[in-house]
Amino acid sequence: MNPSTASNVYAFDKRLLARMTGALGDDKTIGRIALELGLVFSELLPDMFKAETGRDIAIGYAGFKMGLRNELIADLGEAVLLSDVSLRNWCADFQIGCDSPVLIALVEALLGAEPSDIEEPLPRTLSKIEIDVALPVFDRIAEVVRMAVNAPGGFEPVVERPHNGAERLQPDPTLEDVYAASIDMTFGLGPVLSTFSVIIPQSVLLKTQIVMPRSTGQNENMKTDWSEQLEEQIRRSAVTLEARIRLESLTLETISRLQPGDVIPFHDGQDVRVEVNANGRDLYVCEFGRSGSRYTVRIKDTQGSEQDILRHIMS
């Protein structure tokens, strides 16, 4: 290519190319599809959640946004739970994101609190146990997507374990981002109102025919007692316990001179008091002991009821 020819070469407009190849739609078309999908969520999810949790959960359409997928995901913030989802014969990679306050409130409700008594939690990253509890929420949202898009083959969506937005890996800069749309839905439990979003490539949406399932009879094939399922997930989650033993008080001068092999006595002379905690929350008052070749602690008192302890660990 000679210099005169090179001067007449211009980069093809990315948006125009995407529109020509069916990867970018206009506001009106994407907005119509987003609204149709939002109406399916509004119609099906409240009954699903009510049947399985016994709680009234309000779901409503909150609009849509368009842009590059990575930017839409980043706009959700860090105090959000995210999951990558795929549905064979429809979309190999879409995302579900849910604000943390409503998930925290849902955990409280499932542990026995009345929704009207739950104060709105501040947005924050979620613990491993809270993520365990959130898994069925993402499963139900993905299931509604499956029913709404009527993907050929009847395949089930594959929902990856959710992760906190703050922990999401940065996108690979060598991979070209795609144009997507974020369908935003309000998610209300008692006084707590949050948002969940489904982020789908526009190339997929433009080929999708949204259908409203005739009935919600498919719920009969789902796990019918979600509360028990979530409670079981909580109870089976591994928790790291820590034990604190108070030692005899020493002067700062003495402490600074301690060497390997020196001994510091326990503060208690007979039954050594031990405080056991998890996630920074005190759970038990114990006494120090030994069983065979292993050191142990014997529980003498608890810091509340079983439900109190569960809430302490979860928070």
Q: Which residues of 275-292 are buried (b: 16+ CB within 10 A; e: fewer)?
A: bbbebeeebbebebeeee
In a shared domain, residues 45 and 114? yes
Looking at the fold, whether 246 and 229 belong to one and the same domain comes out as: no
Rounded to an integer, what distance in angstroms lies between the CA atom of residue 175 and that of residue 166? 21
- Identify the domain containing residue 52 by its residue range: 9-236
Alpha-carbon dihedral of residues 4, 8, 11, 12, nearest 10 degrees?
-150
SS3 167: helix
> Is 1 inside any structural domain?
no
Is 20 found in the same domain as 151? yes
Please check whether residue 127 lies inside any domain of the structure. Answer: yes
CA-based nearest residue to 226, from 98, 50, 41, 57: 50
**Domain check: are 278 and 298 in the same one?**
yes
In angstroms, rounded to a whole number, what is the distance separating the alpha carbons of residues 249 and 287?
19
Question: Which residues in 106-252 belong to E strands, given as ranges?
Answer: 158-159, 163-164, 179-189, 192-201, 241-245
Query: Are 184 and 305 within one domain?
Result: no
Domain boundary among 181, 205, 236: 236
Whether pTM exceeds 0.85: no
- Kindly report the CATH number assigned to the domain that includes residue 121: 3.40.1550.10
Render each residue's pLDDT in the chain as its tens digit; 315 residues. 555 555 555 566 777 777 777 778 888 999 999 999 999 999 999 988 887 677 888 999 999 999 999 999 999 999 999 999 999 999 999 999 999 999 988 888 877 777 777 888 899 999 888 888 888 899 999 999 999 998 889 899 999 999 999 999 988 888 889 999 999 999 998 889 999 999 999 999 999 999 988 654 444 444 445 556 555 666 666 677 888 888 888 888 888 888 988 888 888 877 888 888 886 678 888 888 887 778 888 888 887 777 677 666 665
Tell me if 3 is assigned to some domain: no
Give me the number of domains the chain comprises: 2
Quick check: is 291 in a domain? yes
If asked whether residues 176 and 78 sit together in one domain, one would say yes
3-state secondary structure of 268: coil
